[in-house]
Structure 1
Amino acid sequence: MSDNQTLYAAFAGHLNAALDALEAAGTLPGGLKRAAVTVEPPRDPSHGDLATNAAMVLAKPAGMKPRDLAEALVAELSKLDAVSSAEIAGPGFINLRLAPAAWLTELNAIASLGADYGRSAMGGGTTVNVEYVSANPTGPMHMGHCRGAVVGDALATLLEYAGHKVIKEYYVNDAGAQVQVLARSAHIRYREALGLGEAVIPEGLYPGDYLKPVGAKLAEEFGDQYAEAPEAEWLALFRVKAVAAMMDMIRADLAQLGIRHDVFSSEAELQASGKPDEAEKWLRDRGLVYDGVLEAPKGKTPEDWEPVELPLFKSTQFDDDQDRPIKKSDGTWTYFGADLAYHFQKAQSADALVDIWGADHAGTVKRIKAAVKAMTGAEGEATPFEIKLVQMVQLLRDGEPVKMSKRSGNFITIADMVEEVGKDVVRFTMLTRKPDAQMDFDFAKVVETSKDNPVFYVQYAHARICSMLRKARAEMQVEPSAQHISLLGEDDLALAKLAAQFPRIVESAAAAREPHRVAFFLNDLAAAFHGYYNLGNDSVEKRIVNASDVNLTSARLFLVAQVAQLVRNGLALLGVEAVEEM
């Protein structure tokens, strides 16, 4: 194994070499597709250290029985010095047991590569555009935005670590009715700042105090120029000014979570530049937009409904359940029409697209996927495009729901959250469940110092190792050293075996676009470390720091130092600091 090649990658290479040898010997026909062949840990650790499905996957196209092919592969793999045994399980799965030296080599690889252990070239430098947050610019960021923001940001970091170039994008929805409402709300605060009476916020406008500084700034800039002016004179101006102020606030809120986007794309600018018109023409030229009448709503037809001819996109050709209008009857763009043009624009500068959406947008997934498939695949292969839906988070305080309403101005902001529990707690907690699963965020529970709190559990593992290293240096003058790692036994190597999975976790998480897999792995690694540490409570011989055996102590310190390195690597992918003291 080379110094910069991790164990699972090395054994994938060994397996390929074994298959090449069988092809050269005529046992296997040449040209078999190996993409579905895997090397991974067996589900049951008692079956061995590594398992491969190669014989099961390749037997049928090779015209062989799986077990016959497995026997031929076992004969080849058994020649490797790192393999202590190779066995066939069931109809043709192969389980390998590795010699201890293989795991010791891997510990040295972690020490050598440090922060780069787990970094992958699988992305091949391809560009992925990850669009996330994209909240309407009508107020500060609140907890309704937080989960998607963290998931998107962690995914972007993960993809970059896995060898992709990444564009982190925020789509500013500044062309809809909601920003007109924002402008009117800001005008009321503007008059208030001029001393023209206390603000009375009509129903349907934004009442939050966060607009008071916006009103004050408008008053300072324009004086009373627009205080009594008709709406037509100030609405467009106040919209631009208020949106700019909200975006400054949103950037500051996101920065408190450690989130910074590369690109902010404006829907208003997109429309002003004629991009939706270009997209419509492009689609019409290819017969993918036509003028037609939508079917009447299902069930009881509303009294005011009447058939209207609209430009419709042929989304039924791309697995959607009905064709979709790209314009409204008044000629303005539908959300879908604008989004269609926006995604077409994004695809010009990326090899793949990922959108992080709230689960309340689930109904529009099919149509926008259909549009991207149509617009990027008309001349060839469509741009890969995925939408990850993120469920809302229920806020609790000691088990009781915390009410929040953006329109009333009574909501918990991200800034409030970070101030109370800290950035790291917020970020890690948001990744402790799959994004499409419901989540409770209890202010009390997320700061508990117990093993039931995954944030604490992982952070404590790192801090505990750091404390142990400091104590060994101070009291025994012992440093972690690889010199005596051959003394490590079965319990020690079990921890090394789990640690060695980190690179494959990174690659599988990046391929699936699921950064929470890294958080799950860190929790498993922390649990394994704490369990390993606790072995010393029952047996002096199993203590990590043992004054009676300096050489074994230095070896075990080397082992846990590599575990700490992986905790740092994993937490860095999640945007969380690995603390050294708690």
Structure 2
Amino acid sequence: MSANLTLYAAFAAKIDAVLAALEADGVLPAGISRANVSVEPPRDPSHGDLATNAAMVLAKPAGTNPRALADAIVAKLAADPAVTSAEIAGPGFINLRLAPQVWLDELAAVAALATAYGKSTMGHGRSVNVEYVSANPTGPMHMGHCRGAVVGDALAALLEFAGHKVIREYYVNDAGSQVDTLARSAHLRYREALGEEIGEIPAGMYPGEYLKPVGQRLADKFGSQYVGQPEEAWLALFKAEAVAAMMDQIRADLAMLGIKHDVFSSEAELQAAGKPEQAEAWLRGKDLVYDGVLEQPKGKVLDDWEPVALPLFRSTRFGDDQDRPIRKSDGKWTYFGADLAYHMQKAEGADELIDIWGADHAGTVKRIKAAVAALAVGENKTIPFDVKLVQMVQLLRNGEPAKMSKRSGNFVTIADMVDEVGKDVVRFTMLARKPDAQMDFDFAKVVETSKDNPVFYVQYAHARICSILRKAAAEGFAPAADRLDRLGDEDLALIKQAAQFPREVEAAARAREPHRIAFYLYDLAAAFHAFWNLGNDNPALRVIVAQDVELSAARLYLVAQIGQVIRNGLGILGVEAVEEL
């Protein structure tokens, strides 16, 4: 087996070659699609090492019986020296047991590929725009942004690892009323910096102390020029200055999590460039926007409701519940109208779009998907678009709700979290559950040194491996691949777990679910810890067997490659593989 073709890909190729041979023999008709043929571990490990559904998938289009086709496939596979047994289960599944050398070759592939082990070309260089975070630029990053930030960043890294070209994008919502409020709040702090007693921050303004440096910066830059001036004299200027300051803070906060975006797109610039008007004109040309009247909201009696003609996007053509207005009655763009234009802009530079949103935006998913679907129809091309919803996180301290941050005024910032528990703990914990599941983040539990703490358990596995290798070197032992045939069943079981990594990467990338890598790493760490503990009961199963240099060298080689797989997986998640704990 070639070192650049990992085990599951190699056996998928072997199965495909068998099917091609059966086609040449006339057992299978020519031209039948094999796209749904899979090679994966059986659900029950006692059934073998690999399983394929080839006979089940192809029997019907081939006009034959699944078990009869399975017999023909097994007969071909039995001649392969890499296969020690091929058995038919149930209606036609095929279970394979592999020769030990297959697993030893895979171990050598880990060593040969090193940081590239598990990388895939499945993305074929297709560009994917992943938009994540996109918080309003009105304050520091807080806990409400953290989970989506980590999920989006890990997804971007996963897709790159799987062969995609990734564009990491942040959409700056700097055109709404909340930015006017930010400017007014900054003006208060500006006056305060110049010595004015501003008293209690009025309701509706942003009260956090994070705006004090912004006010000081404005005071240093403009002096008293805008004190006592009407709002129209300073609002636009203070908006630009305050947004720029907040984006600097947001970039710094994200950097604490190891996150860096490629593109920052401004909603204000989008509108200033006339992109929504261009989108409306384009959609009208495709008869996808028309002037119409919305129905009165169902279930509500509104005394002041009047039918108003608005430009409506035909989102019902694409599965939405109703057509959606892109402008308000005063002519301003609706959130949807601006978002529609923004997604059209993104689609100009990418083959695929993925948005990471908070679960509170679930109600807008259908209409944005309708907009992207309309774009695809109008351009006569496919634009895959997915929205991943991320549930909120409840912050706890020893089981009790965590207190708010003084610096921010009413929320716990990402900086607070990273300062207390560290970037790696925050990142791994955010990926330790499915994003659409509720999560508790307990400051006490996430730093526990126990099996129940996933980040510790995985990092401890890597640190333990590093410790073993250091100890071995001190005692004169070194990893070597000369006698890997000395490895036994317990060793092979660990290799089998490590060999899942490339297929886990592809499965996670295909599903757009980076948390699968965190789950896999926990299972691999558990397998390694169990392997290491075998030596406590049986000295012959220790990694370093003092009286057996060859076996020790082989096991050290094995352990070193397990460390490599853990590093590769943690690299996708943006978590450091520590060498000591």
Alignment TM-score > 0.5, same fold: yes
Query: C-alpha offsets along residues 194-233 of structure 1, whole Å, 9 cap, x if unaligned?
Result: 1121343110110110000111111111111111000111
Which residue of the partner structure matches residue 326 of structure 2? 326
Which residue of the partner structure matches residue 567 of structure 2? 568
1:456 corresponds to 2:456: yes
Using the alignment, how far apart are the partners of 1:541 and 1:405 within structure 2? Answer: 54
Equivalence map 1:454-493=2 (5 Å):
454-475=454-475, 477-493=476-492
Which residue of the partner structure matches residue 238 of structure 1? 238
Name the SS of the counterpart of 1:21 in structure 2.
Answer: helix
- Which is worse superposed, 414-423 or 379-388? 379-388
Using the alignment, how far apart are the partners of 2:75 and 2:360 within structure 1? Answer: 55
Which residue of the partner structure matches residue 282 of structure 1? 282
Per-residue deviation, 1:409: 1.7
| Partner amino acid, structure 2, of 1:262 | D
| Partner amino acid, structure 1, of 2:550 | N
Using the alignment, how far apart are the partners of 2:224 and 2:174 within structure 1? Answer: 26
| Partner amino acid, structure 1, of 2:505 | V
Query: C-alpha offsets along residues 5-55 of structure 1, whole Å, 9 cap, x if unaligned?
Result: 100000010011001000000100111111111100001000000001111
Using the alignment, how far apart are the partners of 2:404 and 2:376 within structure 1? Answer: 40
| Partner amino acid, structure 1, of 2:223 | G
The 8 Å contact of residues 140 and 408 in structure 2, kept in 1 or not, is answered as no
1:342 corresponds to 2:347: no
Equivalence map 1:530-549=2 (5 Å):
530-549=529-548
The 8 Å contact of residues 206 and 407 in structure 1, kept in 2 or not, is answered as no
Per-residue deviation, 1:304: 2.2
Please list every run of 5 or more consecutive structure 2 residues that lacks an aligned counterpart in the other structure: none
Which residue of the partner structure matches residue 155 of structure 2? 155
Using the alignment, how far apart are the partners of 1:538 and 1:580 within structure 2? Answer: 26
1:552 corresponds to 2:560: no
Per-residue deviation, 1:405: 8.6
Per-residue deviation, 1:554: 1.1
Name the SS of the counterpart of 2:379 in structure 1.
Answer: coil
The 8 Å contact of residues 372 and 385 in structure 2, kept in 1 or not, is answered as yes
Which residue of the partner structure matches residue 258 of structure 1? 258
Using the alignment, how far apart are the partners of 2:37 and 2:88 within structure 1? Answer: 16
The 8 Å contact of residues 374 and 382 in structure 1, kept in 2 or not, is answered as no
Name the SS of the counterpart of 1:128 in structure 2.
Answer: strand
| Partner amino acid, structure 1, of 2:486 | L
Which residue of the partner structure matches residue 377 of structure 2? 377
Query: C-alpha offsets along residues 329-358 of structure 1, whole Å, 9 cap, x if unaligned?
Result: 111001100000000000001000000000
Per-residue deviation, 1:302: 2.1
Using the alignment, how far apart are the partners of 2:450 and 2:285 within structure 1? Answer: 62
Name the SS of the counterpart of 1:378 in structure 2.
Answer: helix
Per-residue deviation, 1:404: 4.3
Query: C-alpha offsets along residues 48-99 of structure 1, whole Å, 9 cap, x if unaligned?
Result: 0000111111111111111111111111111211100101010000100000
Per-residue deviation, 1:406: 11
Which residue of the partner structure matches residue 129 of structure 1? 129
1:28 corresponds to 2:28: yes
Equivalence map 1:7-406=2 (5 Å):
7-404=7-404
The 8 Å contact of residues 188 and 199 in structure 1, kept in 2 or not, is answered as no
1:512 corresponds to 2:503: no
The 8 Å contact of residues 83 and 97 in structure 1, kept in 2 or not, is answered as yes
The 8 Å contact of residues 179 and 239 in structure 2, kept in 1 or not, is answered as yes
Name the SS of the counterpart of 1:130 in structure 2.
Answer: strand
Using the alignment, how far apart are the partners of 1:131 and 1:33 within structure 2? Answer: 35
Which residue of the partner structure matches residue 423 of structure 1? 423
Per-residue deviation, 1:505: 0.5
The 8 Å contact of residues 377 and 383 in structure 1, kept in 2 or not, is answered as no
Query: C-alpha offsets along residues 271-307 of structure 1, whole Å, 9 cap, x if unaligned?
Result: 0000000000111111111111111111131222221
Q: Percent identity?
A: 74
Task: Call closer, same or farther: CA 1:239–1:39 in 2, change over 3 Å.
Answer: same
The 8 Å contact of residues 461 and 525 in structure 2, kept in 1 or not, is answered as yes
Using the alignment, how far apart are the partners of 1:66 and 1:338 within structure 2? Answer: 54
| Partner amino acid, structure 2, of 1:557 | L
| Partner amino acid, structure 2, of 1:237 | L
Using the alignment, how far apart are the partners of 1:254 and 1:518 within structure 2? Answer: 22
Using the alignment, how far apart are the partners of 1:483 and 1:386 within structure 2? Answer: 48
Using the alignment, how far apart are the partners of 1:2 and 1:35 within structure 2? Answer: 23
Per-residue deviation, 1:377: 2.4
Using the alignment, how far apart are the partners of 2:86 and 2:346 within structure 1? Answer: 49
Per-residue deviation, 1:408: 7.3
Name the SS of the counterpart of 1:371 in structure 2.
Answer: helix
Please list every run of 5 or more consecutive structure 1 residues that lacks an aligned counterpart in the other structure: none
Name the SS of the counterpart of 1:510 in structure 2.
Answer: helix
Per-residue deviation, 1:310: 0.8
Q: How many residues align?
A: 581
The 8 Å contact of residues 207 and 407 in structure 1, kept in 2 or not, is answered as no
Using the alignment, how far apart are the partners of 2:299 and 2:59 within structure 1? Answer: 54
| Partner amino acid, structure 2, of 1:465 | I
The 8 Å contact of residues 429 and 455 in structure 2, kept in 1 or not, is answered as yes
The 8 Å contact of residues 3 and 106 in structure 2, kept in 1 or not, is answered as no
Per-residue deviation, 1:412: 1.1
Task: Call closer, same or farther: CA 1:435–1:112 in 2, change over 3 Å.
Answer: same
Using the alignment, how far apart are the partners of 1:302 and 1:174 within structure 2? Answer: 32
Using the alignment, how far apart are the partners of 2:480 and 2:325 within structure 1? Answer: 67
Query: C-alpha offsets along residues 82-138 of structure 1, whole Å, 9 cap, x if unaligned?
Result: 100101010000100000000000000001110000011111011000000000000
| Partner amino acid, structure 1, of 2:456 | F
Query: C-alpha offsets along residues 154-194 of structure 1, whole Å, 9 cap, x if unaligned?
Result: 11111111111110000000001100000000000011111
- CA-based RMSD of the aligned residues comes to 1.2
Using the alignment, how far apart are the partners of 2:227 and 2:92 within structure 1? Answer: 81
Per-residue deviation, 1:379: 3.0
Using the alignment, how far apart are the partners of 2:8 and 2:61 within structure 1? Answer: 25
Per-residue deviation, 1:382: 2.7
The 8 Å contact of residues 480 and 557 in structure 1, kept in 2 or not, is answered as yes
Query: C-alpha offsets along residues 217-257 of structure 1, whole Å, 9 cap, x if unaligned?
Result: 11111111111000111111101110000000000000011
The 8 Å contact of residues 480 and 556 in structure 2, kept in 1 or not, is answered as yes
Q: TM-score, normalized by length of structure 2?
A: 0.99
